[in-house]
């Protein structure tokens, strides 16, 4: 039986440790956090995050072999393996501000581990960190003359929100980076692999050196984000030429070398990871004097900003160049469907720009309203639980999140209570554009021909 500790009870730490507990019933898994409110929520019926399947999982394992606690020092003393999933946000001050990852929380954790450990431990980087962070961690932990030895491994997390439980239960791969050149390094990697072997097929557990593992995580997110920016760049050409982005995505995705995933054009990518990790990569490139590589990745971020701007510019232009006083309803505020997370959501950016134009913004979302209220605190925005209430007297609907709910609404009923002309800007291409057009709406999808009655 092992004592496994997770430090950081957020979107990664909570679900990841819960799945480990579920799959390894003989081990005891504890999750700690400095945020007592969050821990209390994990111990209640109202979990701090929404993820499909998470409630049932927590109910199954909490109190059995999964525990949530604020006793960080004590749990460190007891732990054999420590997974660190603390946040690594973009630095907002000093050198590298706006680009580099802020490793303040990571380093604090490493020092706390060292201060409380009374025996050897394996420390696992789950957080996304710049390549070569493990060196700093090893140096802090294995202080000169210290009798206790720590092994540091990199095991980056690839889960996506909204599908976190499935991604953890059936991962494409588990990547373990460690020191192959020492006995204790090899043993640590084996110990960690043995945990995943409980449910992950052998061929999906892959090993590498620590630096490759750290860099693979940044590279993986950079590639995914780059695909979204690439398809969004093509969407801009589609809007000028009557090519249809869905047809183009399908055609290129059928090429086995390209593949069909992550080719959905949208208002832009959001989420806590893509932008932060791209900027982190840009900073690393600059740090190593690789200006062209830095610029290449920076363009993925720049194009995403451009795509969000394009979306708002189009609203403004199509609504006769003024939206002052017009009621615009955002369908969805989460950065993607099936999560309540709004971090870096395009909806935040779009809201701010609409407010600059003095529009009257109404926000509705089935899961993200609490976070939206926090993001937009102090701004003159109305929140509505019920989309049918939200659209009363509205001039336009802007779809920001691809919730299934919005596909299935009664759009005739909505049309009847909207101001005319009634506009729909579908930032996710999820609605039946032709059907809406036939009802009388003026419809503006992404990367597709606009269906406007004014163009007839
Ligand atoms: P989060 O903000 O939801 O959770 C981090 C938690 O760590 C917070 O609850 C915070 O209170 C806690 N924490 C900070 N310092 C601490 C300390 N010293 N001791 C104990 N707890 C501490 O962040 P997240 O979304 O879970 O991301 C965590 C890391 O995982 C980041 O590096 C992120 O890049 C990476 N990651 C995130 C995702 C994702 O989808 N969110 C996916 C893969 C990787
Ligand atoms: C991402 C990575 O996918 C995951 O592997 C990593 O561990 C964390 O970062 P996440 O941010 O949770 O996960 O969601 P993801 O599904 O990657 O979507 C990111 C953003 O891109 C969302 O705003 C999404 O709507 C957008 N997106 C995604 C598109 O606009 N089009 C697509 O085809 C795919």
pTM exceeds 0.95, yes or no: yes
Does a structural domain hold residue 25?
Answer: yes
Report the CATH number that the domain containing residue 409 is assigned in CATH.
3.40.50.720
Mean pLDDT of the chain: 97
Ligand 1 atom closest to the Cα of residue 277 is 34
Domain tally for the chain?
2
Residue 44 burial (10 A CB sphere; 0-12, 13-18, 19+) = exposed
Q: Indicate if the pLDDT at residue 121 is higher than 80.
A: yes
| C-alpha 16, offset from chain centre | 15
The residue from 200, 233, 252 where one domain ends is 200
pLDDT of residue 109: 97
6: left (phi over 0), alpha (psi -120 to 50) or beta: beta
Determine the average pLDDT of the residues in 381-390: 98
Determine the average pLDDT of the residues in 76-97: 97
Cα angle for residues 296, 228, 102 (degrees, 5° grid): 60
Ligand nearest to the CA of 222: 2
**Is 157 annotated as a binding-site member?**
yes
pLDDT of residue 144: 79
Task: Give the full edge-to-edge strand order of the sheet including 3-7.
Answer: 66-69, 28-32, 3-7, 81-84, 121-125, 150-154, 174-178, 205-209
- What is the set of active-site residues? 273
Does a structural domain hold residue 218?
Answer: no
d(CA 89, CA 99): 10
Beta strand pairing call for 396-399 and 327-331: parallel
What is the helix (H) or strand (E) element at residue 408, kind and residue range?
none
pLDDT digits (tens, 9 = 90+) for 58-80: 999 999 999 999 999 999 999 99
Contact predicate 214/154, CB 8 Å: yes
Tokens of 279: 């900027």
| Ligand 2 pocket, CB under 6 A | 157-161, 221, 224, 228, 262-264, 266, 269-271, 273-274, 335-336
The residue from 200, 228, 249 where one domain ends is 200
Are 12 and 144 within one domain?
yes
Indicate the top mutation candidate among 5, 9, 12, 271 to test ligand 1's pocket, ranked by most ligand atoms within 8 A of CB. 12
Share of the chain above pLDDT 90, in %: 98
Residue 93 burial (10 A CB sphere; 0-12, 13-18, 19+) = exposed
pLDDT of residue 187: 97
Are 182 and 315 within one domain?
no
Are 188 and 63 within one domain?
yes
pLDDT of residue 272: 98
Are 183 and 55 within one domain?
yes
Per the document, the length of the chain is: 456
- The most distant pair of C-alpha atoms in the chain lies apart, rounded to whole Å, by 81
Does a structural domain hold residue 229?
Answer: no
**Is 118 annotated as a binding-site member?**
no
Does a structural domain hold residue 355?
Answer: yes
Does a structural domain hold residue 262?
Answer: no
The residue from 200, 232, 261 where one domain ends is 200
Q: Give, in order, the Cα–Cα distances in Å from 276 to each of 85, 199, 425.
A: 16, 31, 28
Are 315 and 183 within one domain?
no
| C-alpha 21, offset from chain centre | 23
pLDDT digits (tens, 9 = 90+) for 24-49: 999 999 999 999 999 999 999 999 99
Ligand 1 atom closest to the Cα of residue 38 is 9
Q: What are phi and psi of 70, to 5 degrees?
A: -105, 0
What is the dihedral sign for C-alpha 146, 78, 86, 176?
positive
Are 44 and 167 within one domain?
yes
Determine the average pLDDT of the residues in 105-125: 96
Does a structural domain hold residue 366?
Answer: yes
User: Residue 456 — very low, low, confident or very high, per pLDDT cuts 50/70/90?
Assistant: low
Indicate the top mutation candidate among 14, 19, 33, 104 to test ligand 1's pocket, ranked by most ligand atoms within 8 A of CB. 33
3-class SS letters over 375-389: HCCCCCEEECCCHHH
Are 184 and 320 within one domain?
no
pLDDT digits (tens, 9 = 90+) for 220-238: 999 999 999 999 999 999 9
> Which residues form the domain of 111?
3-200
Contact predicate 35/68, CB 8 Å: no
d(CA 420, CA 442): 10
pLDDT of residue 145: 80
Tokens of 8: 């950081």
């Amino acid at each position: 039986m092992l004592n496994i500790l997770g430090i950081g009870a957020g979107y990664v730490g909570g679900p990841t440790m819960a799945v480990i507990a579920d799959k390894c019933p003989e081990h005891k898994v504890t999750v700690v956090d400095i945020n007592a409110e969050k821990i209390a929520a994990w111990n209640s019926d109202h979990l701090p995050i929404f993820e499909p399947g998470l409630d049932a999982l927590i109910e199954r394992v909490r109190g059995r072999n999964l525990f949530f606690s604020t006793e960080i020092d004590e749990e460190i003393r007891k732990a054999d393996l420590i997974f660190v999933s603390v946040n690594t946000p973009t630095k907002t001050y000093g050198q590298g501000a706006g680009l580099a990852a802020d490793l303040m929380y990571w380093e604090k954790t490493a020092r706390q581990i060292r201060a409380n450990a009374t025996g050897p431990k394996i420390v696992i980087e789950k957080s996304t960190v710049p390549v070569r962070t493990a060196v700093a961690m090893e140096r802090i932990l294995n202080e000169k003359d210290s009798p206790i030895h720590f092994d540091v491994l990199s095991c980056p997390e690839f889960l996506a929100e909204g599908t976190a439980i499935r991604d953890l239960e059936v991962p494409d791969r588990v990547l373990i980076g460690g020191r192959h050149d020492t006995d204790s390094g090899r043993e640590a990697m084996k110990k960690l692999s043995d945990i995943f072997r409980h449910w992950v097929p052998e061929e999906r557990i892959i090993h590498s050196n620590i630096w490759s593992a750290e860099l693979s995580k940044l590279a993986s997110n950079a590639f995914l984000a780059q695909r979204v920016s690439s398809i969004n760049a093509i969407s801009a050409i589609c809007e000028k030429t009557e090519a249809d982005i869905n047809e183009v995505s399908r055609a290129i995705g059928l090429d086995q070398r390209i593949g069909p995933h992550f080719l959905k054009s949208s208002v832009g990518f959001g989420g806590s990871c893509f932008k932060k990790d791209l900027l982190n990569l840009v900073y690393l490139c600059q740090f190593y004097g690789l200006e062209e590589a830095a610029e290449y990745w920076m363009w993925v971020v720049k194009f995403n900003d451009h795509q969000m701007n394009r979306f708002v510019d189009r609203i403004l232009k199509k609504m006769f160049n003024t939206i002052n006083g017009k009621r615009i309803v955002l369908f969805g505020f989460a950065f993607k469907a099936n999560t309540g997370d709004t971090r870096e959501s395009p909806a935040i950016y779009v809201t701010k720009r609409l407010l600059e134009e003095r529009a009257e913004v109404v926000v509705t979302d089935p899961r993200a309203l609490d976070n939206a209220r926090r993001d937009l605190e102090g701004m003159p925005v109305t929140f509505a639980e019920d989309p049918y209430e939200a659209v009363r007297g509205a001039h336009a609907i802007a779809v920001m999140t691809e919730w299934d709910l919005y596909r299935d609404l009664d759009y005739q009923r909505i049309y009847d209570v909207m101001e005319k002309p009634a506009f729909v800007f579908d930032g996710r291409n999820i609605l039946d554009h032709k059907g809406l057009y036939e009802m009388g709406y003026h419809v503006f999808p992404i990367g597709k021909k606009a269906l406007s009655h004014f163009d007839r």
